[in-house]
Amino acid sequence: MFSSGNTVIAKIIICFTFFLVLAKIKVNGIVQGVGFRPFIYRIASHLNLKGYVLNLGDAGVEIEVEGSKEEIEKFIEFLKDKKPPLAKIDEIKVKWADERKYKRFEIRKSKEEKREGISIIPPDISICQECIEDMEKQERRRNYFFTTCTNCGPRFTIIKKLPYDRCNTTMDEFEMCEECYAEYTNPSNRRYHAQTIACKNCGPQIFLKWDEKIFEGEEAIWKATNLLNNGKIVAIKGIGGYHLACLADEKGRAVRKLRSILGRPQKPFALMARDIKMIEGIAFINDKEKDMLLSYIKPIVLLEKKEELPYVAPGLHNYGVMLPYTGLHFLLFKKISCPLVMTSANLPGRPIIYSEEEIENIGVDAILFYNRKIWQRCDDSIVKFIGKQPVLIRRSRGFVPTAIKIDGATNILATGAEENVVACLLKDGHAFLSQYIGHLQHLETFEFFKEAINHLAGLISFTPEAIACDLHPNFLTTKFAEEMAEEKNLPLFRVQHHHAHVAKVMAEHSLKEAIGIAIDGFGYGNDGMAWGGEILYSNIAEYERLCHLQYHAMPGGDAATKYPLRMLAGILGKEVEDFLIERSKVFPYGEKEVEVILKQARNAKIKTSSCGRLLDAIAALLDICHVMHYEGEAAMKLESVARKGKDVLHIKPVIKGNVIETRYLLQQIFENRNKIRKEDLAYSAEEYIANSLAMAAIQKAEEMGIKNIVVAGGCAYNEHITLRIKEKVEKEGMNFFINKLLPCGDGGISFGQAAVASMLIGNKN
């Protein structure tokens, strides 16, 4: 028998036990590889809850917590509000159940199991400030190049499969030492369950190969800095592949040598600077650009030049600059006092090199490498500011494989176009874009394309139910889509190029209908012509071509892309015969080729409305660019010249029969080329193009009662043209949209293809 006091205690115990409950929680989003399990452990321990947390094979996290319902609800609030900075929670599923009498809270071994919901690992993350400090303070990590923690380091480029555990990454070859294991198992340590944890004693080691000698450890790094300071070119293994590095000093000798090795006489090289102060010595930088440079993504940011560094970005007004994002980068700048060229190690048209075997043949002076494998190659991302708005030129390291939300329930694989290829996997309302693949002109790049799709599909447990591709019948991406659709008996959606461009802006901003301005270099049109200066109506599923830039001949087809003077001949014909003859040395066959070009212009079967080709012709006419060495060169150099000009021609837009006249523009420039500064003529040309496109789009929007106007395509990177269109559109009380989460150019077009296919499937259903 209990005494009265004991009876009260017994009742309290019984009541307390009765009100213990269990919550089974599934969290989806970016919750693996961001310190999420240690975070869960800490808040559960703080609230005195029992149970466990573990990673699942679908990149989600499973939690069971036991305690009072009040404390568990508080736990869920903490989970939402105090999550790690790099975590992104898309969904929390909670099921209540009876208690299981857990004795403690623990992090359990991961399960291969996959459940409902969408989760993904985080992108590669730049080194954090605490790890930089550890490289100075901790003896085991002093000057250790691969210092990381739960808040930073490689993720996407090292993972083989899910769940995100060390054994499923390329760190599986490196067994932790006792000190690292102690940190890994200590809940209060920043490296608690950090899968990339390492130190000098147990982690990857670094080597330098130079002059048939091998240097190791710190000696390798300091020797590399010595070589760089003495004008040598060093291949440096990064997170997602090799960079080719050399000093970018006032003499430019090393940069010129690098151009010779790569066969790139004009293409701009990216720069890496030690810090913001070093950047301010060579470029102008505002607060928004500074914030982007300092973000955990650490992308290349295009900045206006302050000082000309020879051979780095010939003929352009800007540099692409990034800050160090690995421990190795910070160590290099300990002994280097000027910016470094840090350009992707790849031959033209081929993917970035990521293996030691490949880099041996590149022809550099030395190779700085480490003995950990890169599982997925991944180029640096590139950002440009248009006004105050950052826009992506390349979405890769630091962004991939983060998903973008989009309407649609069908699993769709979209293959992109031919250049700047990025694949898109649409699953359960989330679009997963691959890393930057490049131009599918070589077998090696095509193999990389297929490999990237398969890897991403494995990470998100993706099986396609439909395929989307470009309308062009000869693109390798189209042929790949056709073969897969036939093999798997899946529906295939061929999406017109500029329709996809407009759709990707609309889908990103959740627009139901819009007038789209699609301006780029080339897209196969429904009439078999080369489109590229289009005003379209779209509701995403469908489109209607409302207006376009004037058609012009493309003498020699693709040859007119390489030689902008050919496009000039296609527009002005015999009027520029003498002009072309004076510049005939540009062509492989001289004056004879000029005769052929003019004949081709008269009898051309292929005609184009391309804004890109129009800008090329203007650049050629102003003697800014006669031969294209890289995509967009002529238009980019024209933009750089135009920045110093003003509108002196004041040509009013001429639109007849839904065609924007452009031949007259070229005639005016030709007549005034020796009377007016080329800077002013360049600016006047861009002004006419922008005003004409804006006027046409606004007129069509007013006629159709539409308030939304979107701009897309590679020419949207021209700041003058895009900002002028924006100004005109907003002045009329309409809404202006451009991509923010995706590249304006072909690097985001697969997203548009997927959006169109998804909408068509939804409408059919």
The DSSP symbol for 122 reads: -
Residues 621 and 526 in one domain: yes
Tokens at 630, concatenated: 């890289």
* Residues of the chain falling short of pLDDT 50: 1-5, 7-18
Distance of alpha carbon 359 from alpha carbon 381, whole angstroms:
22
Distance of alpha carbon 319 from alpha carbon 636, whole angstroms:
12
Tokens at 284, concatenated: 């102008």
- Residue 456 in any domain: the answer is yes
For residue 573, which amino acid is it? G
Please tell me the total count of domains within the chain.
Answer: 5
Q: Which CATH number is 756's domain given?
A: 3.30.420.360
- Residue 393 in any domain: the answer is no
pLDDT of 117: 74
- Could you report how far apart the first and last alpha carbons of the chain are, in Å? 71
| E strands, 221-297, in order | 234-237, 242-247, 270-272
Half-sphere exposure of 284 (CA within 13 A, CB side): 6
- Residue 671 in any domain: the answer is yes
Nearest by Cα to 666 from 736, 618, 625:
618
pLDDT of 328: 98
Nearest by Cα to 450 from 413, 487, 486, 419:
413
Residues 751 and 614 in one domain: no
Q: Which CATH number is 69's domain given?
A: 3.30.70.100
The residue assigned the tokens 């030691």 is 356
- Residue 236 in any domain: the answer is yes
Distance of alpha carbon 540 from alpha carbon 556, whole angstroms:
34
Residues 88 and 37 in one domain: yes
Tokens at 374, concatenated: 């890169």
Nearest by Cα to 232 from 98, 325, 103, 366:
366
Residues 421 and 557 in one domain: no
Angle at 75 between CA 73 and CA 79, to 5 degrees: 115
284: which residues sit within 8 A by CB, 6+ positions away? 303, 304, 305, 306
Residues 56 and 31 in one domain: yes
- In degrees rounded to 5, what are phi and psi of residue 63? -130, 140
pLDDT of 1: 36
Handedness of CA 688, 694, 698, 704 (dihedral sign): positive
Q: Which CATH number is 158's domain given?
A: 3.90.870.30
CB 166 within 8 A of CB 172: yes
- Residue 717 in any domain: the answer is yes
Distance of alpha carbon 456 from alpha carbon 468, whole angstroms:
17
Q: Widest CA span of the chain, in angstroms?
A: 118
Beta carbons within 10 angstroms of residue 734's beta carbon: 18
The DSSP bridge partners found for residue 366 are: 210, 234
Between the alpha carbon of residue 34 and those of residues 84, 148, 253, 313, 556, the distances in Å are 7, 12, 43, 37, 53
Residues 198 and 210 in one domain: no
Half-sphere exposure of 143 (CA within 13 A, CB side): 13
Of 86, 107, 128, the one marking the end of a domain is 107
Distance of alpha carbon 536 from alpha carbon 305, whole angstroms:
36
Angle at 263 between CA 261 and CA 212, to 5 degrees: 15
Residues 169 and 64 in one domain: no
- Residue 563 in any domain: the answer is yes
Rounded to the nearest angstrom, the gap between the alpha carbon of residue 314 and the centroid of all alpha carbons in its chain is: 24
CB 40 within 8 A of CB 63: yes
Nearest by Cα to 410 from 497, 367, 468, 485:
468
pLDDT of 348: 79
Distance of alpha carbon 36 from alpha carbon 279, whole angstroms:
35
Distance of alpha carbon 233 from alpha carbon 66, whole angstroms:
59
Of 107, 136, 165, the one marking the end of a domain is 107
The H or E element spanning position 578 is: helix 577-582
Nearest by Cα to 466 from 686, 757, 737:
757
If you average pLDDT over every residue of the chain, what do you get?
Answer: 94
Q: Which CATH number is 336's domain given?
A: 3.90.870.40
Nearest by Cα to 498 from 519, 468, 478:
519
Angle at 721 between CA 716 and CA 725, to 5 degrees: 95
The DSSP bridge partners found for residue 383 are: 301, 392
The DSSP bridge partners found for residue 272 are: 322, 340
Query: For the residues of 94-113, what is the DSSP string, one character each?
Result: EEEEE-----SEEEPPP---
Helices 749-764 and 497-508: angle between axes, nearest 10 degrees: 80
- Residue 464 in any domain: the answer is yes
Of 182, 204, 226, the one marking the end of a domain is 204
Angle at 397 between CA 222 and CA 441, to 5 degrees: 105
Residues 100 and 141 in one domain: no
The residue assigned the tokens 């697969």 is 750
| CA R_g for the chain | 29
Residues 482 and 557 in one domain: no
Residues 262 and 377 in one domain: yes
Distance of alpha carbon 246 from alpha carbon 255, whole angstroms:
7
CB 352 within 8 A of CB 240: yes
Domain that holds residue 196: 120-204
Residues 260 and 330 in one domain: yes
CB 315 within 8 A of CB 266: yes
Strand-pair category, 300-304 with 270-272:
unpaired
Q: Which CATH number is 569's domain given?
A: 3.30.420.40
- Summarize the chain as % helix, strand, coil (round to 5): 35, 20, 40
The DSSP symbol for 535 reads: E
Tokens at 129, concatenated: 């400030």
Tokens at 452, concatenated: 């990237």
The DSSP symbol for 704 reads: H
Residues 130 and 244 in one domain: no
For residue range 592-650, list pLDDT tens digits in order.
999 999 999 999 888 999 999 999 999 999 999 999 999 999 999 999 999 999 999 99
If you count them, how many residues does the chain have?
Answer: 765
Helices 719-731 and 678-704: angle between axes, nearest 10 degrees: 40
Distance of alpha carbon 533 from alpha carbon 545, whole angstroms:
11
- Residue 115 in any domain: the answer is no
